[in-house]
């Protein structure tokens, strides 16, 4: 077994994966293993007792949304009686930002990897303010979720059915040339998405007022495309998973309590976890570092696929997150080249003379150099339902990479 050639295989699968946004459908119809009492969440698997505020809030909200509980108290006692099940989104080809809670009735994006055939899923983005993904479950939150499922979700499903799908790899590549890094900044990508989806929506929606509302919603939300982008990254990294002997990291995800990674050459459900750290960043007015919840969300799938914090150099508009100057942003990307195995063939950065983004985190390099991946992230309030309080940078604990290296050595008899 040659580690480098295994990694070449894994990284090539990651890069050559061709995620196409094919449609929108209820989770129970498309996500493998989805059940009415199953609630998927971001990050590595976790039991209720250890869940952080935002994740608990989102689960309660999803139970109310599904109508299986009528109140917070009822939801909590159902959970405590063991009447609902939880699992990591990642065990079902799914990713979700922040709490990432996905339940059976929720409509989800369906992304298909045209190259390798695997599918991935992500819920619809709710926009800003009080939202379920930050643990909010008030009436207006649920009302918006229902509108998204019934009106927006239906429109998107019908619209996408009119097309051959949207090529997400091409969309991301173009957005990277327009100042997005694909994780914290998705302004350009969301507009590209709006551009592509608008004519299709116009084709399928009969009610002008509703159509206007849908287009307005997509256009107002600079994160509209984040969820399909994440699903695309999931399709790519899943394609890279399971290559015998590979030390490429195929998942980085957080559940608000633990940070977890998975490695291509190790098991499908073999997570290496440690307590998630609290992101360091900039805060909205009225909030401070003290309000921040430990790191949460599946959105680090973008860095795992070679964009987000790894492509910081191409997103000068948000350099304040990394120290303030475009040079700091370039240095952030340069640092990530040191722990990655390859440079992306498709995602390039003009400022680095069209060099490909750092792609394929190599466990060996992380441990050898002691450099952990940089992740751009939104910061959730530690209390359920307050919402986003800022954005910044976080790194996973080094220990989980060391643990993974030990497990790799055991598996491969080193």
Partner 1 sequence: MTVTKWNVRAGAYYDSVVLMQLQRGLLELSGVVDAGVVMATQANRDLLAANHLLPDSVTANPDDLLIVVKANDEDFAIEAIDKVDELLTRRKSSTVSEDFRPHSLSAAVKQLPEANWVLISVPGRYAAGVAREALDLGKHVFLYSDNVSLEEEIALKKTAREKGLLVMGPDCGTAIINGVGLGFANRVRRGAIGIVGASGTGTQAVTAQIHNLGSGISHAIGTGGRDLKSDVGAITANQALDLLARDPDTKVIALISKPPSPEVATQLISSAQQTGKPVVIYFIGYPPPARQIGNLHFAISLSEAAEIAVKIGDRRLETVEKSPVSSLYLRGLFSGGTLAYETLLGLQASLSPIYSNGPITPNQNLKDPLKSEAHTIIDLGDEFFMVGRLHPMIDNDLRIRRMKQEASDLEVGMILFDVVLGEGSHLDPAGELALAIKEIREKRIGELDFVAIVIGTDEDPQNIQSQIDQLKEAGITVFRTATEAVEYISLKFSRHNSNQFPPVNLEQLKQPLAAINVGLESFYDSLISQGAQAVHVEWRPPAGGNEKMAALLAKMKNKKEN
Binding site for partner 1 (CB under 8 A): 1-4, 18, 20, 114, 164, 167, 169-171, 173-174, 177, 247, 327, 330-331, 334-335, 337-338, 346, 348, 350-355, 364-365, 367-371, 402, 405-406, 409, 412, 414
Smallest distance from partner 1 to CB 174, Å: 5
Distance CA 117, CA 360 (A): 20
- Map residue 356 onto helix, strand or coil: strand
Question: Shortest Cβ distance from residue 400 to partner 1 (Å)?
Answer: 13
Q: Quote the CA–CA distance of 405 and 226 in Å, as a whole number.
A: 31
Q: Which is nearer to partner 1, 4 or 140 (CB)?
A: 4
Whichever of 73 and 369 has its CB closer to partner 1, that residue is 369
Give backbone dihedrals phi and psi of 350, rounded to 5 degrees, phi first. -55, -40
Helix axes 168-176, 226-240, angle to 10 degrees: 110
Residue closer to partner 1, measured from CB, 196 or 210: 196
Give 370's contacts (C-beta < 8 A, 6+ positions apart): 398
- CA angle in degrees (0–180, nearest 5) for 72-76-78: 115
Minimum gap (Å) between residue 171 Cβ and partner 1: 8
Shortest CB 360 distance to partner 1, Å: 14
User: Smaller CB distance to partner 1: residue 57 or 306?
Assistant: 306
CA 120 to CA 116: how far, in whole Å? 12
For helices 72-80 and 53-66, the axis angle rounded to 10 degrees is 100
SS3 362: strand
Least distance in Å: CB of 337 to partner 1?
6
Name the residue nearer to partner 1 (CB basis): 224 or 247.
247
Which is nearer to partner 1, 1 or 161 (by Cβ)?
1
Coil vs helix vs strand at 188: helix
CB of residue 409 to partner 1, shortest distance in Å = 5
CB 366 → partner 1: shortest distance, Å? 10
State the minimum distance, in angstroms, from the CB of residue 260 to partner 1: 20
Three-state DSSP state, 369: helix
Select 217 or 401, whichever has its Cβ closest to partner 1: 401
Q: Least distance from C-beta 201 to partner 1, angstroms? A: 18
Residue 359 near residue 342, CB atoms below 8 Å? yes
Strands 38-41 and 85-88: parallel
Distance, in Å, from the CA atom of 205 to the CA atom of 335, rounded to the nearest integer, reads: 47
Token representation of residue 337? 């080249």
Q: Are strands 119-123 and 94-95 parallel, antiparallel or unpaired?
A: parallel
CB nearer to partner 1: give 37 or 331: 331
- Cα–Cα nearest to 274, from 383, 104, 412, 396: 396
Calculate ∠ Cα 329-191-312, nearest 5°.
10
Q: Is 186 helix (H, G, I), strand (E, B) or coil?
A: coil
């Amino acid at each position: 077994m040659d580690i480098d050639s295994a990694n070449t295989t894994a990284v090539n699968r990651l890069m050559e994966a061709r995620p196409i946004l094919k449609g929108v459908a209820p989770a129970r119809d498309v996500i493998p293993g989805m059940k009415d009492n199953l609630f998927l969440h971001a990050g590595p698997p976790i039991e209720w007792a250890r869940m952080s505020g935002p994740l608990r809030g989102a689960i309660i909200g999803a139970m109310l949304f599904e109508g299986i509980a009528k109140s917070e108290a009822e939801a909590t006692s159902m959970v405590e009686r063991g009447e609902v099940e939880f699992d990591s989104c990642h065990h079902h080809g799914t990713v979700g930002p922040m709490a990432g809670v996905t339940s059976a009735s929720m409509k989800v994006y369906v992304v298909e990897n045209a190259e390798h055939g695997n599918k991935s899923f992500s819920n619809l983005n709710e926009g800003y303010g009080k939202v379920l993904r930050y643990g909010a479950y008030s009436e207006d939150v649920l009302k918006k979720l229902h509108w998204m499922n019934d009106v927006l979700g239906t429109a998107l499903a019908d619209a996408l059915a009119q097309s051959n799908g949207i090529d997400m790899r091409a969309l991301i590549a173009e957005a990277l040339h327009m100042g997005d890094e694909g994780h914290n900044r998705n302004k350009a990508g969301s507009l590209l998405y709006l551009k592509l989806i608008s004519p299709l929506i116009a084709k399928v929606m009969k009610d002008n007022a509703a159509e206007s509302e849908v287009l307005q919603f997509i256009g107002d939300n600079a994160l509209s495309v984040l969820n399909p982008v994440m699903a695309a990254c999931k399709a790519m990294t899943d394609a890279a998973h399971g290559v015998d002997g590979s030390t490429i990291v195929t998942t980085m995800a957080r559940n608000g309590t633990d940070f977890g990674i998975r490695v291509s050459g190790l098991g499908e459900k073999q997570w290496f976890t440690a307590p998630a750290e609290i992101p360091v960043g900039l805060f909205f007015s009225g909030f401070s570092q003290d309000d921040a919840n430990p790191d949460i969300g599946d959105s680090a799938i973008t860095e795992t696929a070679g964009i987000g914090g790894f492509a910081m150099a191409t997103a000068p508009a948000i350099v304040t997150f990394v120290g303030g100057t475009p040079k700091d942003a370039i240095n952030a990307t340069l640092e990530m080249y040191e722990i990655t195995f390859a440079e992306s063939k498709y995602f390039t950065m003009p400022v680095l003379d069209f060099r490909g983004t750092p792609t394929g985190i190599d466990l060996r390099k992380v441990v050898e150099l002691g450099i952990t991946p940089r992740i751009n992230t939104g910061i959730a309030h530690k209390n359920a339902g307050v919402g986003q309080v800022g954005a910044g940078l976080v790194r996973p604990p080094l220990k989980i990479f060391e643990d993974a290296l030990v497990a790799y050595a055991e598996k491969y008899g080193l």
